[in-house]
A and B are shown apart, each in its own frame.
Chain A
Amino acid sequence: MLDNLTAAREQMAFSLGFHIVFAVFGMGLPWLLLFIEDRYIRTGDRVWYEMARRWCRAFAVLFAVGAVSGTVLSFEFGLLWPTFMERYGGVFGLAFTLEAFAFFLEAIFLGLYLYGWDRLPPRAHWWTGVPVAVSGMASALFVTTANAWMNTPVGFVEENGVVVSAEPIAPLIAPAAPHQVVHMILAALLCTGFGVAAVYAVAMLRSPVKRRDPYHRRGLALGLVLGGVVAPLQVIVGDWAVRAVADQQPVKMAALEALPRTGSDAPLRVGPIEVPGALSVLLHGRRDAVVTGLDAVPPADRPPVGITHYSFDLMVVIGFGLLALAVWALWRWRRGSLFAGRWFLRAVAASGPAAVVALIAGWIVTEVGRQPWIVHLRLRTADAVSDQPGLYWYFYATLVVYAVLSVSLVTLLRRLARSARSESRVLEPVP
C-alpha cells in the first residue's frame, strides 16, 4: 500500500493535472466566444452565430467540470495537507479569497451568458460574457500567485516554525509571481487556440468537403491565429521564467537541466545531445558564468531529477514545435493554401493535445522541481502531509471518480461535435 506522502502527492498531482486542463479552456474560450459573437453582431453572419452557440455548449460542460474539480482542490488542501494550511494558510490565503470572488463573478455571469442567448438583446448578451472572460483570467492570476508564493515565500515573519506576522498581500508580492502568471495565462490561450484549431482540423481530415466549408475554415483560422500569435510570446516568456528560476530557485534549475555539479561552462542537455557551455550562455550570457548544480545541497534537499528534467525538455520541445507550426501556417496562408495540405492538417490536429501535454509537463516541472519542499526552504512536503490512516483510499476513490467523469465528458463532447456535424440548421436554444 502507498504511504501517506506518496498517496497525498499522487492525489494532489492527479487532481491538479485534471483541473488545469479544464481551467485553461475556461480561461481561453470566453475570449474566443466574445470575438466570435462580436463578429456575429457586427456582420449578422449566421456562421458566426452557429460557431458561438456550439462553442458555448462545449464551454458550459468544460466549465462545470473545471468548477467541481476546483472545489475538490479547496477541500484537498485541508484533507491532505493540514499542517501546511495550519502554518501558512493565513499568509497566502488572500490569493484564494480573491480567487473565490473572481470565481463567484464568473459563475454568476456565466449563468446569464448561457441562458441569455436569444433572450437578451445581442449586445447586452455580449456584455454578460465580458465579466466571464475577465474573471477567468483573474482567477488564474490569483491561484498562480499562491503557487508562486510557495516557490518564493515572502511577506511574513516566522519564529520557531510559527508565523508571528504576515503581510496581507504576501502572495501578490512573491518574486516568482510575474513570470509564473504571464506564463500561465499565455499557456491557457495557447491551449485554447490550438485546441480549437485541432477540432476543425480533425473534422477537415475526416471529410475533405469541409475544407471548403466557411464554418470549418473560419474555425480553423481562428484557432490558428490565436495559437500562432501566442506561441512566439510564450517562448520569450519561457526564457524569462527560466532565468528567474535560476535566480530564485537554483537547485530547481539544476534539476530542470539535470546538472550534477556546480561550475562554469555548464552544458545544456536535450535528450542525448549535450552542448558544452550552452547553459551558462543561455542563463547568463557568458560561457564562464557559474551555474549552481545539484551538489550545492545535500541529497535530502534535492528534487527528483529524472521526471523534472524530462518534463522540462518535453515542454520546451513542444513549445518550439508549436512555434514552428505557427510559422508553417503563416507561410501556407501567404501562399493561399491554408486548408489544403493533409500533413499540415495532421500537424494542427496534433497541436491541440500537444499543447495540453506541454501545459501539464510545465506544472510537473514547477511542482516536482520544488520538492522536497512544499514551501520553498520553509516546510517539507513530508512534514505537511496528513497523518490520517489509509490516505491511499482517497487517492483510489479520486482516480475512479475522475476516470468515470473523464470518460463521460469525452463521450459527451464527441456527441456535441457529432450533432454539430449532422445538423445543418441553427442549434436550438439550450433548454
Chain B
Amino acid sequence: MSAADGILLVIGAGVVAYAVLGGADFGGGVWDLLAAGPRREAQRRLIATTMGPVWEANHVWLVFVLIGLFSGFPLAFGALARMLAVPLAVALLGIVLRGAAFVFRQYGGALGAGGGAASGAAGWGRVFAIASTLAPASLGYCAGAVAIGRVGSAFSVAAGALALACCAFLAAVFLCREALVRGEPAAAGDFRRRALGSAVVAGGLAALALPVLAHEAPGLASNLLAGAPALMALSAAGGTGSHRGARVAPVPDGARVRGTRRGCAGGRLGRGPVPGAGAAGVDRRAGGRARADAPGDARRTGGRVRRHAAVAGSAVRDLQPWRVGPTRSSVIRTMTRRSRTIAAR
C-alpha cells in the first residue's frame, strides 16, 4: 500500500463517518422541518436535545476530509473546487446557516422570556431546518457529479435526493432510539414511522437512480454491476432487513393484535380509541389535541403501516412478535412495558 492509498483510506473513513454522523445531524434538521402532528414541538425539542452535545463535533469530519484532500491530493482538490464551485457554495451556505441557527435558537430560545425572543427562536428554527435540508442535498449532488465526472446531470440530482433521504432515515432511527432512552415512547413511535417512511423513499430513489446511472454513465454502471455486486447486495439486504425488522410490531391483525398494537407502539397510546387512557402521561402538552383527533389519526396511521407492509411484500407470519429479531423485540418489550406502566397510572 502506497502513501496515497493510506491517505485515501483516511479520507474515505472520514467521508463515511461524516455521512453517518453528520448525515444524522442533517436529518435531524429535515425532521425539524417536517415536524407535524400534535407532538410537533415535542419532536423538535427531542431533536434539539439529542443533537445539542454533538452538533459541531460531527462536522469536524467534513473539515477533516477537506484538509486531507488538499494536503494529500492538492491537484484533485483544485479540480474539484473548480468543477463543483456552485454546489459546494450552496452546501457551505447550508452548513454555515444551520450551525449558527442551531446555537442561536438554543441560546436565544433558552433565554426567551419576552415574546420577541421566542419568535426569534422560532425564526432561527426555520433557518436551521431549511439549511439542514439544503446542505446534504447539495453534498449528495457533488458526490453524484464526482461519480460520473460532470455536473448538471440527472444522476447528480438523484444522488442529492438519495443523500437527503438517507440522512432523514438515519436521523429518524437515531431519534427513535433516543426517544426510548429518554422515556418518550410517543416520540419514539413518531420517529419509528418516519424511519419507515424515509427508508421506503430512500429505497425507491436508489432503485430509480440505477437506470439513470446506466443511461448517463454506462461505464460506471457496468463497473458497479460487475465489480461490486456483493456490496450492492449487502446494501439491499441491509435496507430490506432493517425495514422488515422495524415494520413488525404495529401492523393490525385482528382484535388481539389490535390490542397488542396499541400496547406495543406506546406512542400511539394517546391517540388510541380509549379516550385519555394515559395521553396526559405520555405527553401532557399534546394530550388534549391528540384525543380530539384520535379516530382519524388512528385510521391514517393504520393505512400508512399497511402500505409499508405491502411495499415489503410481507407475509402475515412476519407480523407476529416472536418472529422479531432480538434487538427489535427487546425495544418493543421496553415500549410495551413503559406504555403499560403509563396506562396503569
List chain A positions with a Cβ less than 8 A from chain B: 57, 60-61, 63-65, 67-72, 74-75, 77-79, 82-83, 85-90, 92-94, 96-97, 99-100, 103-104, 107-108, 110-112, 114-115, 386-388, 394, 397, 401, 405, 408-409, 411-412, 415-416, 419, 428, 430-431
Of A114, A388, A405, A415, which is within 8 A of B85 by CB? Answer: A388
B113 contacts A419, CB within 8 Å?
yes
List chain B positions with a Cβ less than 8 A from chain A: 48-49, 52-54, 56-57, 59-60, 62-64, 66-68, 70-72, 74-75, 77-82, 85, 88-89, 92-93, 95-97, 99-100, 102-104, 106-108, 110-111, 113, 117, 120, 124
A74 contacts B66, CB within 8 Å?
yes
A401 contacts B97, CB within 8 Å?
yes
B49 contacts A68, CB within 8 Å?
no
Q: Contacts A85-B78, A401-B96 hold; do A415 and B108 have CB atoms under 8 A apart?
A: yes
CA distance A78 to B81 in the complex (A): 5
A412 contacts B108, CB within 8 Å?
yes
Q: What are 18 inter-chain pairs, A to B, with CB distance below 8 A?
A: A64-B100, A64-B102, A65-B100, A67-B56, A69-B96, A75-B89, A78-B78, A79-B81, A83-B78, A99-B67, A100-B64, A103-B60, A104-B57, A104-B64, A108-B57, A110-B56, A405-B100, A416-B111
Secondary structure at the B interface, as helix, strand, loop or mixed, is helix
B54 contacts A111, CB within 8 Å?
yes
A77 contacts B70, CB within 8 Å?
yes
CA distance A94 to B111 in the complex (A): 42
A64 contacts B68, CB within 8 Å?
no
Contacts of A61 in B (CB 8 A): 103-104, 107
A-B pairs with the 7 shortest C-beta distances?
A93-B71, A78-B81, A89-B74, A86-B78, A64-B103, A82-B78, A68-B99
Contacts of B54 in A (CB 8 A): 111
A71 contacts B67, CB within 8 Å?
no
Contacts of B89 in A (CB 8 A): 75, 79, 394, 397
Q: Which residue of B lies closest to A88 (CB)?
A: B74
B53 contacts A82, CB within 8 Å?
no
Contacts of A416 in B (CB 8 A): 107, 111
Contacts of A57 in B (CB 8 A): 107
CA distance A162 to B108 in the complex (A): 51
Of A63, A86, A97, which is within 8 A of B71 by CB? Answer: A97
A85 contacts B100, CB within 8 Å?
no
Q: Give the shortest distance, in Å, between B320 (CB) and chain A (any CB).
A: 41
Contacts of A408 in B (CB 8 A): 100, 104, 124
